[in-house]
Amino acid sequence: MANTLFDKIWDAHVVQQVEDGPTQLYIDRLYCHEVTSPQAFAGMRARGLKCFRPDHIYCMPDHNTPTHDQDKPIEDPVSKTQVDTLAKNAEDFGLNHFGMMHPKNGIIHVVGPERGLTLPGMTIVCGDSHTSTHGAMGAVAFGIGTSEVEMVLASQCILQARPKTMRITIDGELGKGVTAKDMALYMMSKMTTSGATGYFVEYAGSAVRNLSMEGRLTLCNLSIEMGARGGMVAPDETTFEYIKGREYAPKGEEWDKALAYWRTLKSDEDAVFDKEVRYDAADIQPMITYGTNPGMGMGITEQIPQSDGTASFEKSLNYMGFQAGEGLLGKKIDYVFLGACTNGRIEDFRAFASIVKGRKKAENVIAWLVPGSWMVDAQIREEGLDKVLAEAGFAIRQPGCSACLAMNDDKIPAGKYSVSTSNRNFEGRQGPGARTLLASPLTAAAAAITGVITDPREFM
């Protein structure tokens, strides 16, 4: 019987099927950060349990870490408690822990792939919805709740209902200035934020195959914003080249064995998905959001659509200070944020630098450029991007989730407009009253040097 890529990985990890109930699924890798894990560890202590496979669990703080002065104590008491609690839990339970200032620290969804901890064919979970990012490596990766984190800590297994499967095929060539972020925002504008609810999505087609590993990670990261359980891309030579030689990747004979298996990880030609969706890459232009969910996006040269008649649409535009029928080009902005598990990788900094090189940051703009990890920070400096950015008036902050969410010091003030490369634009997501416009690193860079919403193709 023909199988999808998802079926192959899922079936290989089934421990048992509960009759008329969920699947007991074995988990290869559990990632823990400081926000969703404390209650899970408290539950373990209350029951006197140890972690079943501590060597399969990796912990690091990212949401609450400040992006400056990380060598000093955290000033915010709530953030400090959460970061300190994770360190103590990791120590008490004998787990791998990359704390603040550790050279392997960063956003957990950036560190996993770049260190070779995330590998094809794995099942991966974390108490964070954007765990879907890791599916770009050809893995089944999804976010879980706190009680499920405890379940995996204790047993390295999880009870999970099997999702349906969807394949989204994007064929053709992407136009100038169009990135993986634009692909994702385009799909969400067509499918809405609930269009993939209940499905595990496999991305396919020539436009997806031609993406770099970083681009695929961005695409899969945003799967959750369409309501999907997760997203994935079948591993290929791009994947294998990316993984080879990374710290935790297989070596020598183990590499050869792993590679032979990874090459089998693709959907069979006659595999049947529960749903198929197709798009043409030529229809996608640089995108920007105008509302308060990631599905409220449009091409940067287009106009905000007319109201769909719902109260939520009107409320969203009122919050953003926009009107139906108006364009966004030339709108003044206040902040630019480059970073997050969506766009905090080296390729994103290269893209941003390519636009601002030889130009100057607009005086009215406050820009936060935040690497996704210390490895990305090192690459930025090795490639001289720090000098390019500094000459243009930009400073690089220390790694962390930063202004993706209002859980650390990097908050956008009420009423201010932020062009952000992160993943969510909900009311208050970047700070109480903050107005967020999601976009790619290229579009963010164009706004940073002009001070207004600008088509990045003008600088390419």
The stretch 416-436 carries a mean pLDDT of: 98
- Please identify which residue in the block is written with the tokens 């966004």: 328
Q: Examine domains 1-285 and 287-459 and report if their fold is the same.
A: yes
Distance CA 161, CA 263 (A): 27
Q: Which residues contact 2 (CB under 8 A, 6 or more apart)?
A: 268, 269, 270, 271, 272
Q: Are 448 and 428 in contact (CB under 8 A)?
A: no
Q: How many CB atoms lie within 10 A of CB 359?
A: 16
Please say if the pLDDT value at position 309 is more than 90.
no
pLDDT at 172: 98
DSSP conformational letter for 252: H
Q: In this structure, are residues 37 and 89 in contact, taking their beta carbons and an 8 Å threshold?
A: yes
Q: Give the per-residue pLDDT at 15.
A: 98
Q: What percent of the chain has pLDDT over 90?
A: 99
Confidence at residue 379, expressed as pLDDT on a 0 to 100 scale? 98
The rounded distance, in Å, linking the Cα atoms of 185 and 202 is 16
The DSSP string of 299-333 is ETTSBPPPP-S-HHHHHHHHHHT--TT-B-TT-B-
% the chain with pLDDT above 70: 100
Residues in the chain: 460
Q: What are the residue boundaries of the structural domains of the chain, listed by start?
A: 1-285, 287-459
Q: What is the pLDDT of residues 67-105, one digit of tens each?
A: 999 999 999 999 999 999 999 999 999 999 999 999 999
- β-pair type (275-280, 164-171): parallel
Tens digit of pLDDT for each residue in 343-362?
999 999 999 999 999 999 99
Tell me the three state secondary structure of residue 159: strand
Rounded average pLDDT over 160-170: 97
For position 52, what pLDDT does the model report? 98
Residue 111: band (very low, low, confident or very high) from pLDDT cuts 50, 70, 90: very high
pLDDT of res. 163 = 97
Over residues 371-393, the mean pLDDT reads 98
Could you report the per-residue pLDDT of 209-227, keeping only the tens digit for each? Answer: 999 999 999 999 999 999 9
The CATH fold assigned to 1-285 is Aconitase; domain 3 (3.30.499)
CA of residue 427 relative to chain centroid, distance: 19
CATH number of 287-459: 3.30.499.10
Give pLDDT, residue 430: 98
Phi, psi torsion values for 199, nearest 5 degrees: -110, 155
192 has a pLDDT exceeding 90: yes
Segment 379-408 shows an average pLDDT of 98
Interstrand relation of 164-171 and 199-204 (parallel, antiparallel or unpaired) = parallel
Instruction: Give pLDDT tens digits for 95-109.
Output: 999 999 999 999 999
In 3D space, the residue among 228, 310, 294 whose CA is nearest the CA of residue 426 turns out to be 294
**CA atoms within 13 A of residue 190's CA, in its CB half-sphere:** 15
Strand partners, 166: 201, 275
Quote the CA–CA distance of 153 and 158 in Å, as a whole number.
Answer: 10
166-185 pLDDT, tens per residue? 999 999 999 999 999 999 99
Lookup: tokens for 144: 């879980």
> Of 445, 263, 274, 259, whose CA–CA distance to 343 is shortest?
445
Query: Would you say residue 1 has pLDDT above 90?
Result: no
